[in-house]
Structure 1
Amino acid sequence: MRNPQRPVTLDHIDHQLLRALAEDAGVTNKALAGRLGLAESTCAYRVRALREAGVVTGSRAQLDVALLGCPLQAMIKVRLGSHTMANVSQLYDALAATPGVLQAFHVAGADDFYLHVAVENAEALRDFVLRHVTSHRVVRQTETHLVFEVRPGAGVLRA
């Protein structure tokens, strides 16, 4: 688990940089600097500072899972029967490392985990739950919800 950090003070240029990087993490420094009207050296310095401060933690390619043969997405709610630190930690690690899991959330409330998964079809989803989720002795209950569509949210950056 990450330790919560104090928020970093950002100015309007930092916010512009973050919005541009969130939109296209692969943008070149030259293009980013040109888009924001910054010197390339200033742009590179500011992006490096955002990374060093931990505000930018990486960049990822956004994949179309349907084109990769996994058009069926679901959210699987997982409820545990035992909540020891070891059980929770081991299961969380195992679930997050399972092929097909797009995101694993450890949550508060009636459920303990939400898994966002992508699979080939309904049979593969059933098999996923039986082989990779309910097979853990600590899992008491699951509930599976099909995902019809996924849209990115607005995020936390101010316009």
Structure 2
Amino acid sequence: MKQAHRPLDNIDIEILSHLFRDARISNKDLAEHIGMSPSSCLERVKRLQTDGIIEGSSLSINFNALGGHIQAMVSVRLSDHSRHTVDQFQQDILQQPEVIGVFHMGGVDDFLLHVTVSDTAHLRDFVFNAITARAEINHVETALVYDYKISKRLPSF
């Protein structure tokens, strides 16, 4: 996909705003909200996808309902910052079933991992087995997530 560098008009912004709130909205309903024909709306959405502005859609999951009763953010510092080490850690950690997301960070910590586990013993085992057992790990800190909400508003730039 192309990298988006074109200016967006008000219709594009409105389409993105509606899709950001509900990625499952039908094209017919989206077009009705925006006040345009379904075929024109679909053409606009496809262009936003082709231009790399829309990179897919997402699904919100209740991890608690699946047995992930604890969510945590795990900050990780590496002792080696070579491209290979950073890429390999990220690739390996994404394979762990507990990992929801990985943020490669600037600053003191190199990575912030969003994880979900069944209980505190599971969290401890995950940290020991998947993280601290690795030779390139210098420091790990874990913080429990009490609540997690995602904005339903499109950011303005």
* TM surpasses 0.5: yes
2:55 counterpart SS class: coil
Question: Gaps spanning 5+ residues in structure 1: where?
Answer: none
CA distance in 1, matches of 2:44, 2:155: 17
- Asked whether the equivalents of residues 33 and 43 of structure 1 are also in contact (C-alpha less than 8 Å), the reply is yes
Please identify runs of 4+ aligned residues in structure 1 that moved more than 6 A.
none
Query: Residue 15 of structure 2 is aligned with which of 17, 22, 26?
Result: 17
- What is the letter of the counterpart of residue 41 of structure 1? S
Question: Gaps spanning 5+ residues in structure 2: where?
Answer: none
2:88 counterpart SS class: helix
Number of the residue aligned with 2:116: 118
CA distance in 2, matches of 1:131, 1:95: 11
Q: CA deviation at 1:155?
A: 5.6
Equivalences, count: 156
Give the fraction of aligned pairs with identical amino acids, expressed as a percent: 35
Number of the residue aligned with 2:104: 106
CA distance in 2, matches of 1:21, 1:7: 20
CA distance in 2, matches of 1:126, 1:138: 19
Number of the residue aligned with 1:149: 147
- What is the letter of the counterpart of residue 74 of structure 1? A
How high is the TM-score relative to the length of structure 1? 0.92
CA distance in 2, matches of 1:93, 1:29: 36
Task: Give the 5 Å matches for 1:8-157.
Answer: 8-153=6-151, 156-157=154-155
CA distance in 2, matches of 1:30, 1:155: 21
How high is the TM-score relative to the length of structure 2? 0.93
CA distance in 1, matches of 2:110, 2:50: 32
- Asked whether the equivalents of residues 79 and 140 of structure 1 are also in contact (C-alpha less than 8 Å), the reply is yes
RMSD: 1.8
- What is the letter of the counterpart of residue 96 of structure 2? T
CA distance in 1, matches of 2:102, 2:77: 13
